[in-house]
Chain A
Amino acid sequence: MRIRARGIVPGRASGMAILSPAPFSFVGGVDPATGSIADAATGIAGERLQGRIFTFPTGKGSTVGSYVLYGLGKRGLGPTGIVNRRADAVVAVGATLAGIPMVDRVDVGGLRTGDRIVVDANRGSVELPDVKGKRVVTAVLRNRGQILIVRRSEKVGTFQGRWSAISGVIEGREDPKHRALVEVREETGLRGIVFRSAGGPVLARDGATMYIVHPFLFDAPSRRVHLDWENVEHRWIRPEELHRFATVPRLTDVVAAVLGPSA
């Protein structure tokens, strides 16, 4: 599958991904003499950057980080490519000095350490040759500050028994919002829902499948839900209660994409 990205430092690179879920500082975060990760908060301390595609949400910390990245690149100890959610000037300038191709605006939460990745900053894309992409919609229904979650039945193909918002697979070239409306009607029977907002896609990973989730927010005029065969149970909850449920991957992030980070 291929993911759209924004090219920051031109070039093309491929390698195995190494992922830090936490923001990263090249000052203190990595040993400048060996290129191995020193920051324990990354969960990948001891791993080497050399030859890898370094993937992390964003840079942080001292501006000296630019020079550290330059030094790593000069000694051949740096990553071959960098993927960020949001590029910051320190890392971007460092990658420029070191000549390391870099892209941002990628939801790194869908990537995994060990993924084969091709970073193409010239055309603005990230390719995962071993992962299959599947475009889906998720409709967050809101009524008086609470949102609807449903538990998936044993008859559906994926994530049986897990809690989810209303969702469905986008077919062909159809408009994601149209699909969201169809799914809400089929799975809840609710009428008269009002579109509020759409969020940027969230990448939810399940093994070799990447769900490209297009989130939508609708206001529901009532709470009278009639489930179809796909779900067995429903609840109206406050967004911050989501963590108490066993949900499909990244549901919290999908909800946050349309409601803000309160969830």
Chain B
Amino acid sequence: MRLTETQRHLVEEGTDGQRKAMEILLTVGRLADAPRLVPITSAHVSGASYKMIGDPGLEFLEDFAQSARVSVPTTVNPLGTDLAQWQELGVPATFAEKQARIARAYETMGVRPSYSCTPYLLGVRPALGEHIAWAESSAVCFANSVLGARTNREGGPAALAAAIVGATPEYGLHADEGREPTVIVEVRTKPRGIAYSLIGLVAGERVGDGLPFFRGFRGTEGDLKWLGAALASSGACGMFHLESVTPEARRARVKGLKSITITSDDLIAARRAHNDGTEADLIGLGSPQLSSEELQAIARLIDRTPPRIPVWVFTSRVVRDANPQAVEIIESHGGRVLADTCLEVTLLEHRFGTVATPSGKAAYYLPSLCKQKVIFDDVETLLERYA
């Protein structure tokens, strides 16, 4: 890989953290045959939940934090619990203590303590064509597809290394060719609610690591957040196009591409495939964390049909603090609004066995990551069912 003088300087005379970060980028670049490192404007790191990275991750981050400092604005994924409410949630003290140490290590490195999987809802809005290094598959999919920024699906340590160096190996979705669609997905149904998640789950399964060009429907930014999160869970997709909606769809080359079709029957079958629970212990809303508008809408729904089982609503600290009224309504009906954590990386298995959720990503991951059975349906339906 060709390095600039500054980058070579980091390899030879940088701090321990800088040298290690360069070594990581060189390894990733060698694997991908990347010609050089491209400067980035922001980084988003995954691997912050103690439940996910455990003692090995904690040890590495604490060691690394001794000398590593980020050089571009950097955000980080949700933690394994809400550190302001862990006692009420029944989280063991050792878990909370180790989780707090992980958070401290990231903060020492200069990472913004947003603990969110939705940095794009917190003011981190890279522009069309901007190079970034993001981990967190759902945020990668949103940034590439909806914003037109450019990032590969970075691993946690690689995104952290990119944050420290301020650059990332240039290959894949950083290059024009890597952003061309590989398959057309004709959707023959008008989606609403969880149908966006379902389209994502079905397409991800069929497309694998391809790049789908969707046709036949429209959606808001909020809808595409759910679609992308599901697509990036069941598939290894880092990006999609949606005809007449996403910014790079118009110039995408679709001529001669193979085309597949998704019908309403496919969505019904996918919903059934991700439903294995009978009675829910918890309604979980998040994965990805909710936006302000989504939080307010949930508060209105809960006010109208208060549920008899606990509702945990996951959002970022910023959104929680900005919506005290919605938080109060939800909590007055026995629900909880949790911040700095998210549904599938939080500790659930110590208390629950079946979770009801409208999130396709959660429906995909809850069985393996949280040992939960799943009831997957629209939030209105779930609230009525458990009213």
Residue of A nearest to B61 (CB): A67
Given the complex, which residues of B lie within 8 Å of A7, measured CB to CB?
Answer: 30
B23 at interface (Cβ–Cβ under 8 A)? yes
Given the complex, which residues of B lie within 8 Å of A67, measured CB to CB?
Answer: 53-54, 56-57, 59-60, 157
A9 to B26, CA, bound (A): 9
Q: Which of B27, B28, B47 lies at the interface centre, i.e. has the most chain A CB atoms within 10 A of its CB?
A: B27
Given contacts A63-B47, A97-B157, contact A92 B53 (CB under 8 A): no
CB distance B56 to A70 under 8 Å? Answer: yes
CB distance A64 to B54 under 8 Å? Answer: yes
- Out of A8, A66, A74, which one reaches B155, CB within 8 Å? A66
B98 at interface (Cβ–Cβ under 8 A)? no
Given the complex, which residues of B lie within 8 Å of A251, measured CB to CB?
Answer: none
Q: Mark A55-69, 1 if CB is under 8 A from B, else 0.
A: 000000001101110
CB distance B60 to A89 under 8 Å? Answer: no
- Out of B52, B53, B57, B158, which one reaches A89, CB within 8 Å? B158
A93 at interface (Cβ–Cβ under 8 A)? yes
Given the complex, which residues of B lie within 8 Å of A68, measured CB to CB?
Answer: 56
Q: Mark A165-195, 1 if CB is under 8 A from B, else 0.
A: 0000000000000000000000000000000
Residue of B nearest to A65 (CB): B56
Given contacts A67-B56, A68-B56, contact A9 B27 (CB under 8 A): yes
CB distance A64 to B52 under 8 Å? Answer: yes
Given the complex, which residues of B lie within 8 Å of A95, measured CB to CB?
Answer: 27
CB distance A87 to B155 under 8 Å? Answer: no
Given the complex, which residues of A lie within 8 Å of B47, measured CB to CB?
Answer: 63-64
Residue of A nearest to B28 (CB): A89
Q: Which of B56, B63, B155 lies at the interface centre, i.e. has the most chain A CB atoms within 10 A of its CB?
A: B56
A78 at interface (Cβ–Cβ under 8 A)? no
Instruction: Report, as a range, how many residues of chain A touch the other chain.
Output: 20 to 34
Q: Which of A1-25 contact B (CB under 8 A)?
A: 6-9
Given contacts A96-B24, A97-B60, contact A8 B157 (CB under 8 A): no
A42 to chain B, nearest CB (A): 20
Residue of B nearest to A69 (CB): B56
Given the complex, which residues of A lie within 8 Å of B31, measured CB to CB?
Answer: 8, 87-89, 92
Q: Mark B132-162, 1 if CB is under 8 A from A, else 0.
A: 0000000000000000000000011110000
A212 at interface (Cβ–Cβ under 8 A)? no
CB distance A71 to B27 under 8 Å? Answer: no
B20 at interface (Cβ–Cβ under 8 A)? yes
A239 at interface (Cβ–Cβ under 8 A)? no
A156 to B47, CA, bound (A): 59
A64 to B47, CA, bound (A): 8
CB distance B53 to A64 under 8 Å? Answer: yes
A144 to chain B, nearest CB (A): 30
A90 at interface (Cβ–Cβ under 8 A)? yes
Given the complex, which residues of B lie within 8 Å of A88, measured CB to CB?
Answer: 31
Given the complex, which residues of A lie within 8 Å of B155, measured CB to CB?
Answer: 63, 66, 89-90, 93
CB distance B54 to A96 under 8 Å? Answer: no
Residue of A nearest to B153 (CB): A89
CB distance B60 to A93 under 8 Å? Answer: no
A90 to B24, CA, bound (A): 11
Q: Could you pull out 17 A-B pairs where Cβ atoms are within 8 angstroms?
A: A8-B27, A8-B30, A9-B23, A9-B27, A63-B155, A64-B47, A64-B52, A64-B54, A66-B155, A70-B60, A71-B55, A71-B59, A89-B155, A92-B27, A92-B31, A93-B157, A97-B157
Chain A residues at the B interface, C-beta cutoff of 8 Å? 6-9, 32, 63-64, 66-68, 70-71, 74, 87-90, 92-93, 95-97
Chain B residues at the A interface, C-beta cutoff of 8 Å? 20, 23-24, 27-28, 30-31, 47, 52-57, 59-60, 63, 155-158
Taking A64-B54, A74-B63, A88-B31 as known contacts, 4 extra A-B pairs with beta carbons closer than 8 A to each other, sorted by chain A number, are: A32-B55, A67-B57, A92-B27, A93-B24
The 6 closest A-B pairs by CB, nearest first: A67-B56, A96-B27, A67-B57, A68-B56, A67-B60, A71-B56
